[in-house]
Amino acid sequence: MKIAVYMPNWIGDAVMATPTLRAIRDQYPNAEIVAVMRPYVAEVLEGLELVDRNLLYNPRGKDRSQRGLPFIQKLRREQFDVALLLPNSIRTGWLAFISGAKRRIGFSRDGRGLLLTDRVKPQDRSAPNPVIDEYLRLAKQLGCKGSATHVDHRLSREMFLAATEQDELHLEEFWQRESGSKLADSMPLSTDGYICLNPGGAFGAAKHWPSASFGQLANRIATELNKTVLVLCGPNEKDEARQIVQTADNSNVVSFANHETSIGLTKAAVKHCDLLITTDSGPRHFAAPFGVPVVTLFGPTHIAWSETFSSKSIHLQLEVDCGPCQQRVCPLQHHRCMTELEPDRVFKAAVSLLERQQRHAA
């Protein structure tokens, strides 16, 4: 059997899809599983062995083989038996339909039911449903069965992620450069572990915590906990990372801003940190698969949508009368759900989580 799994486009959603990939692999060990996804999503899953091959799709990319008619021809040549659609888009339904896959499984939403053979009824959107569980519903429709060790025989929610040897090497090179730079300035980095801050978020400005707040938090961690603070960033977030480092004004606060960034480098950094403090964005989901404690700052989004079910997590969200609004930009232009979240509260949550981990390790 040849199974095409159409992967989600968001980085965090891709990580939350890994329990479904594992369920398919466990249920159909002899099947050929092909992940259809954007190139950057392939970076997220690199190093895992949950799928046999990737089929890269990039409708706006320069590589013609990843878009338009050449991609459609490539899809049809695969002759898939099954297409499992994790995204809810019409486009994904159309691609699965024209691929010729005999069985097409997905949520019957936004008028795409005619493109599917197995129409799974979507949950009511008025109540938030964890993305992990929604994807696993599709796996069940495919025939995946839960573990007998669970009372309700549910499928496992455990997420998976890997950092490749190349990712690890890039991280090691980063620390060597930073340590050399600090030694040249007679300000050696603390070697007693490090904490990652992830201030970014592609969803929109409404998810962002102020850079000044991140800077204050970074300074307090470096000063009071004597830990190095690493500010993560993507290519479009380097200015914000520099601003956080500048506000922190502490030699133990560094960032990726002056280095070549990649999803793999970020995975490796999170894998080896003592704690991740993050907005509700893609890299937040890197923590749970690696067993890393994480404090997540929620603003406009409901916590339940992206629940990771990790025991090593603390969620912080202010109760405001206008939220959670699920908007990319604050419609009231005050952004209170994030601006009024005090650095002191975040610091105390971080300390609490670190102490909890120390007790468990003792």
Nearest-angstrom CA–CA distance, 193 and 231 = 14
3-state secondary structure of 272: helix
**68 and 213 housed in the same domain:** no
The bridge status of strand 82-85 relative to strand 2-6 is parallel
Measured from the Cβ of residue 340, the count of other Cβ atoms closer than 10 Å reads 11
Nearest-angstrom CA–CA distance, 116 and 103 = 8
Q: How many domains does the chain have?
A: 2
Per the prediction, the chain carries an average pLDDT of 90
pLDDT at 320 over 50: yes
Any domain includes 153:
no
Q: What is the pLDDT of residue 151?
A: 47
Any domain includes 150:
no
Q: What is the pLDDT of residue 287?
A: 98
Tokens 């959603």 — which residue? 13
pLDDT, tens digit (0-9, with 9 covering 90-100), for 203-212:
667 678 999 9
**80 and 190 housed in the same domain:** no
DSSP assignment of 131-198, as one string?
A: HHHHHHHHHHHHT----TTSTT-PPP--------HHHHHHHHHHHHHHHHHHHHTT-PPP-S-EEEEE
Report residue 315 as tokens.
């969620």
Any domain includes 135:
yes
Nearest-angstrom CA–CA distance, 81 and 330 = 44
Any domain includes 157:
no
Nearest-angstrom CA–CA distance, 34 and 51 = 6
**27 and 106 housed in the same domain:** yes
Range of the domain at 213: 166-361
pLDDT, tens digit (0-9, with 9 covering 90-100), for 321-343:
766 756 777 676 666 767 789 99
Nearest-angstrom CA–CA distance, 132 and 128 = 12
Any domain includes 288:
yes
Phi-psi region of 316 (alpha: psi -120 to 50; beta: other; left: phi over 0): beta
Cβ pair 268, 166 in contact under 8 A: no
Nearest Cα to 278, choosing from 333, 237, 334? 237
**29 and 78 housed in the same domain:** yes
**129 and 237 housed in the same domain:** no
pLDDT at 112 over 60: yes
Q: What is the pLDDT of residue 266?
A: 98
- Average pLDDT over every residue of 156-172: 96
pLDDT, tens digit (0-9, with 9 covering 90-100), for 49-108:
999 999 999 988 888 889 899 999 999 999 999 999 999 999 999 999 999 999 999 999
**105 and 174 housed in the same domain:** no
pLDDT, tens digit (0-9, with 9 covering 90-100), for 231-283:
999 999 999 999 999 999 999 999 999 999 999 999 999 999 999 999 999 99
**200 and 119 housed in the same domain:** no
Phi, psi for 67 (deg, rounded to 5)? -155, 165
**264 and 326 housed in the same domain:** yes
Q: What is the CATH number of the domain that holds 17?
A: 3.40.50.2000
pLDDT at 190 over 70: no
**137 and 178 housed in the same domain:** no
Measured from the Cβ of residue 246, the count of other Cβ atoms closer than 10 Å reads 12
Any domain includes 159:
no
In percent, how much of the chain has pLDDT > 70?
90
**329 and 195 housed in the same domain:** yes
Any domain includes 178:
yes
Q: What is the pLDDT of residue 192?
A: 66
Nearest Cα to 50, choosing from 169, 140, 159? 159
Q: What is the pLDDT of residue 153?
A: 59
Going by C-beta distance under 8 Å and a sequence separation of 6 or more, which residues neighbour residue 103?
Answer: 81, 82, 83, 117, 118
Identify the band that residue 361 occupies on the pLDDT scale cut at 50, 70 and 90.
confident
- Average pLDDT over every residue of 355-360: 86
Nearest Cα to 159, choosing from 290, 41, 272? 290
Any domain includes 158:
no
pLDDT, tens digit (0-9, with 9 covering 90-100), for 20-55:
999 999 999 999 999 999 999 999 999 999 999 999
State the alpha helices, DSSP H only, in the chain: 11-16, 18-27, 39-45, 68-78, 90-99, 131-142, 165-184, 211-224, 238-248, 263-272, 287-290, 336-339, 343-361
What predicted TM-score, i.e. pTM, was given to this entire model? 0.92
**36 and 135 housed in the same domain:** yes
**191 and 339 housed in the same domain:** yes
Q: What is the pLDDT of residue 25?
A: 97
Vertex 15 angle, CA 221 and 176, to 5°: 45
